[in-house]
Amino acid sequence: MESNAAPMAVSYAITLVAGQSDRARAREAAGMAAQTGMAQTGTGPDARQFHDGAGPETVITVSGLVKRYGDVEAVRGIDFTVARGETFGFLGPNGAGKSTTIKILCTLANATAGTAIVAGHDAATERDAVRRNIGLVFQDTTLDTYLTAEQNLRFHAELYGVPRAAVLPRMRQVLEMVGLWDRKDSLVSTYSGGMQRRLEIARGLLHAPHVLFLDEPTVGLDPQTRSSIWAYINDLKKREDITIFLTTHYMDEAEHCDRIAIIDHGKIVAIDTPEALKASIGKDRVQIHTADDQRAIAELTAKFGIEAAVHDGAVTFSVASGEQFVPRLFTEFSVPIQSVSVSRPSLDDVFMSYTGSTIRDAEGGAGNEFMRNMAKMRSGGRR
């Protein structure tokens, strides 16, 4: 893993030093970044400003973005904006185009068509300016595991031109945030997977970026570590003026986002707050076990105008509000009811309603988890 680190970091350094298309602008921006770094340490996060001209409210604007790899159209014309301070998530199955999109936004891949503006700069033509404004935490670790945490952070600070005097206080701030300050002198190779991810988040934040990009930040981590990473991310949002763009295929993780875009086969199929998306498909699912299912189905139609059918051995139907409907069922229904379960629409239901398959199905080969979720729904468990 660590062998990846240096080349990527070095390519950043080369780009930052040599510039790409506009050396003068790069030099100017580098100077401004250095000044901002200095100011941040002295005045704290609240005093931060967009240091080079980004509009204050819209931090990411993506228009007509397309990415083709030969015959594969990984991203097929997407449009969205992300507001300052938002936590915005891309939710979709493996292969949906999430990483491709995030790489274009981070200047690590070129779009085939369309534009991406990040922190006021074009990701295609103003790469240096975009890079100075963003932090990256990607799935594959780019930490140097044979160095200590502190050495990793100092290397990063150097690459990003954080002024020398600002490095130690800022390092302490970010390491304390992720609970690793007292382990800063340990070799990263002695860290657990969760600690390494936390260190990567700290490193991504070291140069006080305006936008933090997280590609599947908790994939492969155990549930406890995943929830602690989320505690850090939520805490971070309280402390820093930062916009977060993340990708995930975990439904529960998407619940942490202010807004999510559901992406499938390179297209955004729905975009809104998690609550609004669930509300958009509207209905609670009710399942009842009865003494006579056919009579129950007929009576549901006759008395309540509800279409029901037997699924998974239970009479199944949808109503706007399960809590309000179930008591009526007990008082007004003539068929004896043995058990009832109500489940709210989940983001998986949202995905299903927009794409016709579950995220697990769309990933293929993950049927077991899908079956477990179904079993959970059947038993009335819901999140």
Ligand X SMILES: Nc1ncnc2c1ncn2[C@@H]1O[C@H](COP(=O)(O)OP(=O)(O)O)[C@@H](O)[C@H]1O
Q: Using CB under 6 A as the criterion, which residues of the chain lie in contact with ligand X when the complex forms?
A: 69, 72, 74, 92, 94-100
Q: 95 touches which of ligand X, Mg ion, none (CB within 5 to 8 A by kind)?
A: ligand X
Buried b / exposed e across 311-339, counting CB within 10 Å, b at 16+? eeebbbbbbeebeebbeebeeebebeeee
Q: 40 touches which of Mg ion, ligand X, none (CB within 5 to 8 A by kind)?
A: none
**One residue of 36, 40, 41, 99 binding Mg ion per CB under 5 A:** 99
Q: 72 touches which of Mg ion, ligand X, none (CB within 5 to 8 A by kind)?
A: ligand X
CB 72 within 8 A of CB 243: no
Q: DSSP 3-state assignment of 23?
A: helix
Pick the piece of the chain touching Mg ion (CB under 5 A) from 41-49, 77-85, 93-101, 104-112: 93-101
Complex with ligand X: residue 4 or 321, whichever CB lies closer: 4
CB of 101 to ligand X, least distance (A): 7
Complex with ligand X: residue 69 or 146, whichever CB lies closer: 69
What part of residues 31-50 is at the interface with Mg ion (CB under 5 A)?
A: none
Tokens standing for 199?
């260190």
CB of 77 to Mg ion, least distance (A): 19
Q: 92 touches which of ligand X, Mg ion, none (CB within 5 to 8 A by kind)?
A: ligand X
CB 90 within 8 A of CB 261: yes
247 contact partners, CB below 8 Å, separation of at least 6: 89, 90, 91, 92, 98, 99, 101, 102, 214, 215, 216
In 3D space, the residue among 377, 340, 341, 342 whose CA is nearest the CA of residue 358 turns out to be: 377
296 contact partners, CB below 8 Å, separation of at least 6: 288, 290, 308, 315, 333, 335, 337
Q: Which residue is nearest to Mg ion (CB)?
A: 99
Tokens standing for 192?
């657990």
Q: 74 touches which of Mg ion, ligand X, none (CB within 5 to 8 A by kind)?
A: ligand X
Complex with ligand X: residue 99 or 152, whichever CB lies closer: 99
CB of 263 to ligand X, least distance (A): 7
Tokens standing for 57?
């409210």
Complex with ligand X: residue 96 or 123, whichever CB lies closer: 96
106 contact partners, CB below 8 Å, separation of at least 6: 118, 123, 130, 131, 134, 136, 213
100 near Mg ion, judged by CB under 5 A: no
Strand partners, 69: 72
Complex with Mg ion: residue 92 or 209, whichever CB lies closer: 92
CB of 111 to ligand X, least distance (A): 13
CB of 216 to Mg ion, least distance (A): 6
34 contact partners, CB below 8 Å, separation of at least 6: 161, 162, 163
Complex with Mg ion: residue 94 or 115, whichever CB lies closer: 94
Residue 20, CB half-sphere, CA atoms under 13 Å: how many?
14
CB of 75 to ligand X, least distance (A): 7
The residues that touch Mg ion, with contacts defined as CB under 5 A, are 98-99
